[in-house]
Amino acid sequence: MKAPNNQAKAELWFVPGSQHLYGDEVLRQVARNAETIVAGLSRECGLSVRLVCKPVMTGAEAIAELCRAANAGEQCIGLVCWMHTFSPAKMWIAGLSGLRKPLAHLHTQLEREIPWSSIDMDYMNLHQSAHGDREFGHICARLGIGRKVIVGHWRDARVQRELDDWARAALAWSDMQTGRIARFGDNMRDVAVTEGDKVAAQARFGFSVNGYGMGDLVACIETASQQQVDALIATYEADYEVAPSLRKGGARRGALLDAARIELGLRSFLESGGFTGFTDTFENLNGLAQLPGIAVQRLMADGYGFGAEGDWKTAALVRAMKIMGAGRAGGVSFMEDYTYHLEPGREMVLGAHMLEVCPTLASHKPTIEIHPLAIGGKADPVRLRFEAAPGPAVNAALVDLGDRFRLLANEVELIAPPKPLEKLPVGAALWRPQPDFPTAAGAWILAGGPHHTCLSLASSTAQLEDFAEIAGVELITIDAGTRLRDIRAALRMSRAASSLSERRR
Ligand code: MN
């Protein structure tokens, strides 16, 4: 997996809050308790990002200084605040007002249980987050600060899961600030939903999107040595089943060598430019022998974002969801709603693309195959073919509505095809959308959702909620509880709110 920019150094700062009123001994105890929680979370939580305990905050100056340091610190990707005791929140105003890093408010308590027989006022005065955190929440609400609120004992598995989900969203956000998407060719001609305002996207999300000439990519492809090609072919033969015609001595072996050269060139272009994602389009393949298939699939498996037909928004989203799901079970891929099974009550969506489906979805060892492609006018492309593993997943998209961006998520259940798809020449996934097909597809279409998505079994709706909050964009979720009338109301509300807010930059 192409590691997130900044991951090696990334830190979350754990910030306990209190005040001077309690005296030094209590404040020392608060600091020790904060250390205990940080050590415990680091040990038990499997956090994707290192958690660093900061000094107990007791005054406005120190809080403002901490927030300035968080903003300036390249390594700090977010703050986790916890008010162990009461911490009068007027002293948090200056710091929080200027904070530009993601904020999580962990509403917890050192001890899980009330010590019934020994509890006295000293205990009560030390364990005050029940009202201290309400004071903190009030000032965040009043200042309009987007944040995650996590509630429960810090050793509870659900709490730890929520914290790790949020940490992963913060890491994806951090990566996105320096994200770079390379575009080979422009948008597929006349398509609306894959277009968008790249300047507005950079102002909102941080990632940059720039076009490169196919000649520059072709030059990279041509520099691939025979030795490199041979080594990559050996990797292909070790990792996948190879169709007979592509094996050594097979009639189409040359196409496999071409595909390997394309992968080597594309990879070297992306690595040398520090890119985190890319797009291509079958309408601009000048100098390429075939539309990149296996190359795109394997680069996606290594953590690069990808969008076909010039779809840079989906490329950026695939990259973010790769980071949010890294190390968790299940694949993450660029996807397209392709064909329906419309048997009433048993509707299914068959998702695939011309070639570019990520093999991390595969339920079995993929096969390398070669088949004609009806469009593009190039030689037959080599691709990995497989069927996706079953399981719960989320299908998400990023939409440009002209005056704002919208994230859209639909929870789906991936299922095994009822019969083998023997003639289907591409990687494919079959799913049932939540809550049911008419509601899911109706809501998606009402919300202006695209046909391109990121399908992920490894990242969740909860992470997308966290990510949307951090990014300051709206999220429309279609899940088991969705009713169309609620979606229509949410969309009307969103449109009204947007008309009142400042125009985007
Ligand atoms: Mn497409």
- Ligand 1 center–CA 25 separation, angstroms: 63
- Ligand 1 center–CA 356 separation, angstroms: 9
Q: What is the DSSP string of 266-315?
A: HHHHHHHTT-SEEE--TT--TT-SB---HHHHHHHHTT-EEESTT-HHHH
SS3 at position 494 = helix
Do 469 and 148 touch, CB atoms closer than 8 A? yes
Q: What is the DSSP string of 414-452?
A: E---SS--TT--S-EEEEEESS-HHHHHHHHHHTT--SE
The Cα–Cα gap between 200 and 123 comes to 52
Residues 6 or more apart in contact with residue 241 via CB below 8 angstroms: 365, 366, 367, 368
- Look up the pTM and report it: 0.97
CA dihedral 126, 128, 129, 132 (to 10 degrees): -120
Do 258 and 289 touch, CB atoms closer than 8 A? yes
SS3 at position 13 = strand
* Torsion angles phi and psi, residue 320, rounded to 5: -65, -40
- Ligand 1 center–CA 19 separation, angstroms: 56
Neighbours of 248 (CB within 10 A): 9
Neighbours of ion ligand 1 (CB under 5 A): 308-309, 336
Residues 6 or more apart in contact with residue 463 via CB below 8 angstroms: 165, 166, 168, 169, 321, 324, 325
- Ligand 1 center–CA 447 separation, angstroms: 19
- Ligand 1 center–CA 235 separation, angstroms: 28
CA 296 to chain centre: 18
Which residues, listed in sequence order, are joined to residue 199 by a DSSP beta bridge? none
- Ligand 1 center–CA 435 separation, angstroms: 25
Predicted confidence at residue 499, as pLDDT, reads 87
Q: Is there a cis peptide before residue 366, judged by omega within 30 degrees of 0?
A: no
- Ligand 1 center–CA 31 separation, angstroms: 54
- Ligand 1 center–CA 336 separation, angstroms: 6
Do 284 and 163 touch, CB atoms closer than 8 A? no
* Structural tokens at position 495: 């449109």
- Ligand 1 center–CA 155 separation, angstroms: 44
- Ligand 1 center–CA 73 separation, angstroms: 39
Predicted confidence at residue 504, as pLDDT, reads 60
* Structural tokens at position 435: 């809550």
- Ligand 1 center–CA 448 separation, angstroms: 16
- Ligand 1 center–CA 390 separation, angstroms: 23
Residues 6 or more apart in contact with residue 239 via CB below 8 angstroms: 365
- Ligand 1 center–CA 246 separation, angstroms: 26
Do 452 and 312 touch, CB atoms closer than 8 A? no
* Structural tokens at position 108: 């917890």
- Ligand 1 center–CA 309 separation, angstroms: 6
Which residues, listed in sequence order, are joined to residue 13 by a DSSP beta bridge? 52, 79
- Ligand 1 center–CA 219 separation, angstroms: 26
- Ligand 1 center–CA 228 separation, angstroms: 31
pLDDT string in tens for the chain (505-residue length): 777 877 778 999 999 999 999 899 999 999 999 999 999 999 988 898 999 999 999 999 999 999 999 999 999 999 999 999 999 999 999 999 999 999 999 999 999 999 999 999 999 999 999 999 999 999 999 999 999 999 999 999 999 999 999 999 999 999 999 999 999 999 999 999 999 999 999 999 999 999 999 999 999 999 999 999 999 999 999 999 999 999 999 999 999 999 999 999 999 999 999 999 999 999 999 999 999 999 999 999 999 999 999 999 999 999 999 999 999 999 999 999 999 999 999 999 999 999 999 999 999 999 999 999 978 788 999 999 999 999 999 999 999 999 999 999 999 999 999 999 999 999 999 999 999 999 999 999 999 999 999 999 998 999 999 999 999 999 999 999 999 999 999 999 999 998 887 666 5
- Ligand 1 center–CA 353 separation, angstroms: 6
Do 270 and 183 touch, CB atoms closer than 8 A? no
- Ligand 1 center–CA 436 separation, angstroms: 24
Residues 6 or more apart in contact with residue 449 via CB below 8 angstroms: 397, 399, 408
